Chains A and B, each alone.
Chain A
């Protein structure tokens, strides 16, 4: 087989085509949103929402609803509970997040064990990108397009919100509404990513591309290009490797993102660890 055959081979399987489509859409949408999340400092919130949707997904299967609906309800419930616990007691917010999302995640695990169903726990936890059904594909593409559209339409307001909430409020923007909008976008993006990488790893897609782009540029508009490119390329690379090495597709995609982040972290000019070490050794030598 020539290198060209290796490149073409995965695309000749229906299941791989679907896997590539679902993973790339999820990665690109999540990567765009990640630009704001890493700047606001909402990484833990992304982790929380993604875990907390588990009982929603299980109940949706039970009631024969699209799993997006269950996931959205529990995503918002988690956020509301976190707010209630951190405001209504002296427990700090990160502790409130930790309490709420682990409890909801555990509820999901218990529900799976008591409810007889065909759903495979592993598929929800780690994604089932090689078994994408038509209905899943439709859900991912529609929700992904919707999220991307709203995000880009509101991008300047969201950027101001991320940079300077006080100013956003003072010039008459509804900060609470933007807060809710961003949480909603986060919850929907988690749903989009579930099929591809599962609830455990979806948070990676919501953080790593944005963090990588942040290291590479000082322009937010460029982050918005770099992050989805990073997300998309890592999806392709991860799926190729997974196809030939027979590894977990979701795991390999996230590993590709993590590897790229590490390379950037080490080698990016000026801000990178290597550049700093070299600068230090130069100044010591001088």
Chain B
């Protein structure tokens, strides 16, 4: 079930990671160490570099400087070993695409399959388990766009679970999600962390962070603060990134 991880601790480390788009610095010397088996919240304003940070972790953007290591290896090697999973933001998904929920979850299994991606019994079982975990078994044959906002997020979470990735990157998993779905997702994320997976969750929902995250990274091109939710969510700390006076309970 669990693939061997080259090195467990820390799961993610960035040293001096800098990304420039033309003359604009999206990330400016980010140093960050994220431990394994934890849920890490990632907060910051729009344009603070959260998306770029995800892209850097996924190896989807060329680093101007610095280094990214995932589970002790380079980002390329981590991807090749199937260690990384990514849940996209809702607006980056084509919801009219003719695939069923089950087929989307099956896409998490490609790394376990041969070059033709033939589906084996183990793949079917992993997909069925993941669907059951996120409580979507009864909707498995629905076209992916015919789900509610929360169900869509759970479908993509199931894909990451079926992949059995060690590092899960989740981009705004609570946007457009109703309260019950949010609670389900938080519970699932916590249980994944309890199994030793490492989760990085970007969110605008500051109020929900204490229930979700073990620690929080406040980003504004650089790491402004990194600590427990209580520490980072203090108004004087938030003010550094969101601009003073900090709004209490911003986002909700």
Chain A residues in the interface with B (C-beta under 8 A)? 39, 153, 156-157, 159-160, 162-164, 166-167, 169-173, 214, 217-220, 222-223
Is A166 within 8 A of B97, CB to CB? no
B59, CB-defined interface residue at 8 Å: yes
Nearest to A219 among chain B residues (CB) is B98
Residues of B within 8 A of A219 (CB): 98-100, 143
21 contacts between A and B (CB under 8 A): A160-B110, A163-B107, A164-B88, A164-B93, A164-B107, A166-B58, A167-B86, A169-B58, A169-B59, A170-B58, A170-B79, A170-B86, A171-B79, A171-B82, A171-B84, A171-B85, A171-B111, A172-B111, A219-B99, A219-B100, A220-B99
Residues of A within 8 A of B80 (CB): 172
Residues of A within 8 A of B94 (CB): 39, 163
Interface string of B142-158 (1 = CB under 8 A from A): 01000000000000000
B60, CB-defined interface residue at 8 Å: yes
Is B116 within 8 A of A153, CB to CB? yes
How far in angstroms is the closest Cβ of chain A from B169?
8
Nearest to A152 among chain B residues (CB) is B116
Residues of B within 8 A of A172 (CB): 79-82, 111
Chain A contact residues, majority secondary structure: helix
Residues of B within 8 A of A157 (CB): 110, 117
Is A156 within 8 A of B117, CB to CB? yes
B46, CB-defined interface residue at 8 Å: no
B202, CB-defined interface residue at 8 Å: no
Choice from B58, B92, B97, B111 contacting A162 with Cβ under 8 Å: B97
Residues of B within 8 A of A170 (CB): 58, 79, 84-86, 169
Query: Once bound together, how far apart are the Cα atoms of A169 and B104, in whole Å?
Result: 15
9 new A-B contacts, CB < 8 A, other than A171-B85, A214-B98, are A166-B86, A167-B85, A167-B86, A167-B88, A170-B84, A170-B169, A172-B81, A172-B111, A173-B110
Choice from A160, A169, A217 contacting B98 with Cβ under 8 Å: A217
How far in angstroms is the closest Cβ of chain B from A172?
5
Query: Once bound together, how far apart are the Cα atoms of A86 and B107, in whole Å?
Result: 31
B163, CB-defined interface residue at 8 Å: yes
Interface residues of B in 122-165 (CB under 8 A from A): 143, 159, 163
Query: Once bound together, how far apart are the Cα atoms of A5 and B103, in whole Å?
Result: 48
Nearest to B59 among chain A residues (CB) is A169
How far in angstroms is the closest Cβ of chain B from A210?
11
Residues of A within 8 A of B116 (CB): 153, 156
Residues of A within 8 A of B79 (CB): 169-172
Give the bracket for the number of chain B residues in contact with chain A: 20 to 34
Is B110 within 8 A of A171, CB to CB? yes
Among B58, B82, B84, B98, the most chain A Cβ lie within 10 Å of the Cβ of: B98
How far in angstroms is the closest Cβ of chain B from A286?
23
Choice from A159, A166, A220 contacting B92 with Cβ under 8 Å: A166
Residues of B within 8 A of A222 (CB): 98
Residues of B within 8 A of A156 (CB): 110, 116-117
Residues of A within 8 A of B104 (CB): 163
Query: Once bound together, how far apart are the Cα atoms of A246 and B154, in whole Å?
Result: 58
Query: Once bound together, how far apart are the Cα atoms of A131 and B107, in whole Å?
Result: 46
Nearest to A157 among chain B residues (CB) is B117
Nearest to A213 among chain B residues (CB) is B98
How far in angstroms is the closest Cβ of chain B from A222?
8
Interface residues of B in 21-69 (CB under 8 A from A): 58-60
Residues of A within 8 A of B81 (CB): 172
Query: Once bound together, how far apart are the Cα atoms of A134 and B82, in whole Å?
Result: 49
Is B107 within 8 A of A160, CB to CB? yes
Query: Once bound together, how far apart are the Cα atoms of A220 and B104, in whole Å?
Result: 12
Is A163 within 8 A of B97, CB to CB? yes
Q: Given A160-B107, A172-B111, do A166 and B88 touch, yes or no (CB 8 Å)? A: yes
Q: Given A163-B107, A164-B88, do A169 and B60 touch, yes or no (CB 8 Å)? A: yes
How far in angstroms is the closest Cβ of chain B from A102?
29
Query: Once bound together, how far apart are the Cα atoms of A162 and B99, in whole Å?
Result: 11
Residues of A within 8 A of B98 (CB): 39, 214, 217-220, 222-223
Residues of A within 8 A of B159 (CB): 167
Among A157, A167, A170, A218, the most chain B Cβ lie within 10 Å of the Cβ of: A170
Query: Once bound together, how far apart are the Cα atoms of A153 and B118, in whole Å?
Result: 10
Query: Once bound together, how far apart are the Cα atoms of A217 and B85, in whole Å?
Result: 29
Among B88, B107, B111, B169, the most chain A Cβ lie within 10 Å of the Cβ of: B107
Residues of B within 8 A of A159 (CB): 99
Is A39 within 8 A of B97, CB to CB? yes
User: Which 6 A-B residue pairings sit nearest by Cβ, starting from the closest?
Assistant: A156-B117, A218-B143, A170-B86, A172-B79, A172-B80, A220-B98
Query: Once bound together, how far apart are the Cα atoms of A217 and B117, in whole Å?
Result: 23
Choice from B60, B82, B100, B117 contacting A166 with Cβ under 8 Å: B60
Nearest to B77 among chain A residues (CB) is A172
Query: Once bound together, how far apart are the Cα atoms of A167 and B89, in whole Å?
Result: 12
